[in-house]
Amino acid sequence: MYAYIIRRFIQSIGVALLVSFLCFFLFQYMGDPVLTMVGKRATQEEMEKVRESLGLDKPFYMQYLVFLKNALHGDLGKSYTNRLPVFDLIVERAPATIELATFAMIIASFLGISLGVVSALKPDSLMTRFIMAGSLIGVSLPTFLIGLLLILVFAVMLGILPPFGRGQIVQIGAWRTNFLTFSGIKHIILPGITLGFFELALILRLTRAEVGEVLGQDYIRTAWSKGLPGRVVIFKHALRNSLIPVITMIGLGLGELIAFATITETIFQWPGMCRLFLSAIYGNDYPVIVGYIILMAFVILFINLAVDILYTFLNPKIRYD
Amino acid sequence: MIKKIRESRILNHFIRDPSAVIGLTICLVLMIGAIFAPLIAPQNPYYLQSLSYENCLRPPVWMEGGTAPFLFGTDDQGRGVFSTILYGLRVSLGVGFGVVLIAGTVGSLIGIMAGYYRGLLDVLSMRVADTLFAFSTTLLAFLILGITGSKGILVVIIAISLADWVRYARTTRGNVLSVVEEDYISAARAIGAVDLRIIFKHIIPNILSSIFVISAIDLAIVIMLEATLSFLGIGVPLTEPSLGMLIAKGREYLYAGKWWLILFPGGVLAALVISINLFADWLREEINPKIQRHQSVE
């Protein structure tokens, strides 16, 4: 078990290093940042000066090693566009993204699991048909379309919810939160639903399938025939065993969540770190792109590792030796 | 003979499932619309001489200010939305089928090799697949196209395929692993069949149906992904707009209340993906209920 964890840990670090190298390597061939920074009218000398000040005159492997050394100290370089440290830029915007994602995932998990259980218990009812039709739309509508439709209905036509920004936020230490003012809560509703909609549909469909399968098993029949009350059978016996794959899917779906957060933040002009990434792409701001990818790679790899380990505890049948 | 009975059984099941019939019908209608776009569309929206500024931003024909050939209204260049949707469908479907073909072939072959030969190839390819999978197809496509920039439809197809082959490789490998255990494979080996013959004669025919199921589910996912990428401006180029690009352009007029620029292309995109999913769900139930949607969606 421990050997497995250590092996996976080393593997994850190896992958993260590989990701960082690939990014760094690819960006060598993607246009000249100096030219973008100084503009077309700069003289050759001015350009050389900027190149030197950014360390871009050194050979490739030196640039990478310096980058790696600095990265380990939390220094991912400076943004080409506004000269602020990349790490600070990303960390400063992280709370907005984390709050949005948490809000979306809480809605998605709560509604997804409960509606999934309902539709598994009564597979032929009218209610279930509605739920399943809704979930089909959920997995079939791209996130950006859901966001635009919500804006069109609730902001443009009805005018009851704000379509962009975070609204009034409250600063607690380094963290800026949305949840302490009425305006902040109003602003998070539309982007939260947009981001959560797809996950909701996925969780619902998986919960329904898993609960449906478990309900047909012998130990559930035994529980019913013992005369246990319905809620005990459903929540203690059936749901508990069905939730393992659901939790795994939520944990392993983090990459998807980050991708969808990028779309949501763009549509709602949400000042989070995912939007920072997209504007960096538009502006050829390589340090921000590379820094973001590496940070995300770390987060995704280690959350995956954590989910795998958690999985062995939740499901004792699985051993990794 | 046996094959005929089998086919008619599937056909019978199909006819009795209204959602599958509706799904396939809508799919086919949209595909025919895309293929024959130059014949059906009242104007060629990308032939500049047919455009006129007098007609720009007109509402749909049944509203006040709408005029005859522009069924769904016009955009800011005077292009009919109905026509741009038909031409946009071509791009969306083209990218969708292109990726399914490339990623499906490459991914399935990698999966077959990994599952059949095992060993180092298996370990390496599945390690890569796991890692790519953790990043998710969508995020990977963002990263790849973020680096390359918007360089044309072919680049979009290749970028999505690079992120998408994993879906096929993982499922195919799993299928091969269970097929290889079957007695008829041992029998084929015993009579001296070579690997290539076993793979093409015995393994591929047995896993082909589940590759079809994944392809159907994947087609819907890829079309959504392409729309998303184009919406964000890192997908297809402006000169060949897909449905996603049309919606992105319509977004500029969202607050001006020009809803037809978003609602019609969005509605067609939704109808396309929903109908593919309806058909794919039926296909999955029919052929191999064990394939879970989430396995291929994550």
DSSP codes of every residue in B209-249: HHHHHHHHHHHHHHHHHHHHHHHTTSSS-TTS--HHHHHHH
Tell me the residue type at B98. G
In a domain, A289, yes or no: no
Return the higher-pLDDT residue of B27 and A281: B27
Query: Does A147 fall in a domain?
Result: yes
Asked if the C-beta of A296 comes within 8 angstroms of chain B's C-beta atoms, the answer is: yes
pLDDT of B182 over the 70 cut: yes
The answer to whether the CB atoms of A259 and B266 lie below 8 A apart is no
Between vectors from CA A275 to CA A272 and to CA A281, what angle results, nearest 5°?
Answer: 145
| Interface with A, mutate which of B131, B217, B234 (most A CBs under 10 A) | B131
Tokens 């049944």 correspond to what residue? B62
The predicted model scores a pTM of 0.86
- Best A17, A36, A139 member to test B by mutation, with max B CBs in 10 Å, is A139
Give the residue from chain A lying closest to B275, CA to CA.
A140
Measure in Å the smallest separation between the Cα of B295 and chain A Cα atoms: 9
Q: Average pLDDT over chain B, rounded to whole? A: 84
- The CA distances from residue A207 to A127, A283, B250, in Å, are 16, 42, 37
> What pLDDT score does B294 carry?
45
Range picked from A104-118, B28-42, B49-63 for highest mean pLDDT: A104-118
Report the residue of chain A nearest B150, measured CA to CA. Answer: A282
3-state secondary structure of B117: helix
Whether A211 is covered by a domain: the verdict is yes
Task: Judge: A142–B138 Cβ closer than 8 Å, yes or no.
Answer: no
Tens-digit pLDDT profile for residues A293-320: 888 888 888 888 888 777 777 666 655 5
CA Rg, chain A, in Å?
24
Interval A247-280: pLDDT, tens: 878 877 788 888 899 899 989 999 888 888 888 8
- The tally of CA atoms less than 13 A away on the side-chain side of residue A306 is 10
Provide, as residue numbers in chain B, all residues whose Cβ is less than 8 Å from the Cβ of A296: 139
Number of domains, chain A? 1
Could you give the domains of chain B? 22-38+80-297 (1.10.3720.10)
Cross-chain CB nearest to A151 (options B231, B254, B270): B254
pLDDT tens for residues B105-149? 999 999 999 999 988 989 888 888 888 887 888 888 888 887 777
Secondary structure element (H or E) that encloses residue A230, with its range: helix A230-231
One-letter identity of residue B90 = R
Question: What CATH number has the domain bearing residue A141?
Answer: 1.10.3720.10
Q: Which domain holds residue A160?
A: 87-273
* A60-72 helix and A2-26 helix, angle to the nearest 10 degrees: 130
Q: Rounded to an integer, what distance in angstroms lies between the CA atom of residue B153 and that of residue B151?
A: 7
SS3 content of chain A, % helix, strand, coil (to 5): 75, 0, 20
For chain A positions 248-267, those within 8 Å of chain B (CB to CB) are 249, 252-256, 258-260, 262-263, 266
Residue bearing tokens 């509402």: B59
How crowded is residue A69: how many other Cβ atoms within 10 Å of its Cβ? 10
- Residues 143..162 of A with a Cβ closer than 8 Å to B: which? 143-145, 148-149, 151-152, 156
Q: Quick check: B24 pLDDT over 90?
A: yes
Closest by CA to A96, choosing from A291, A264, A255, A253, is A264
- Is residue B45 predicted with pLDDT exceeding 70? yes
pLDDT at A233: 83
Strand runs (DSSP E) across chain A, as ranges? 170-172, 175-177
Provide the chain A residues 181-240 that lie in CB contact (below 8 A) with chain B.
Answer: 202, 205-206, 209
Chain B positions touching A15 (Cβ under 8 A) are: 131
Q: Do A140 and B270 touch (CB under 8 A)?
A: yes
Q: Which residues of B touch A143 (CB under 8 A)?
A: 228
- Cβ burial A280-313 (10 Å sphere, 16+ → b, else e): bbebbbbbbbbbbbbbbbbebbeebbebbbebee
ipTM: 0.83
Q: Tell me the C-alpha distance between B12 and B3, whole Å.
A: 14
Q: What is the pLDDT of residues A208-219, one digit of tens each?
A: 888 888 888 888
- Residue A31 belongs to a domain: no
Whether residue A112 lies within 8 A of chain B, CB to CB, comes out as no
CA dist A296 and A175 (Å) reads 20
Q: Is residue A68 part of a domain?
A: no
Cβ partners under 8 Å of residue B245, min gap 6: B88, B91, B230, B231, B235, B236, B238
CA distances from B91 to A241, B86, B156, B223, B239 (A): 44, 9, 11, 10, 11
Q: Is A189 a member of any domain?
A: yes
* DSSP β-bridge partners for residue A170: A177
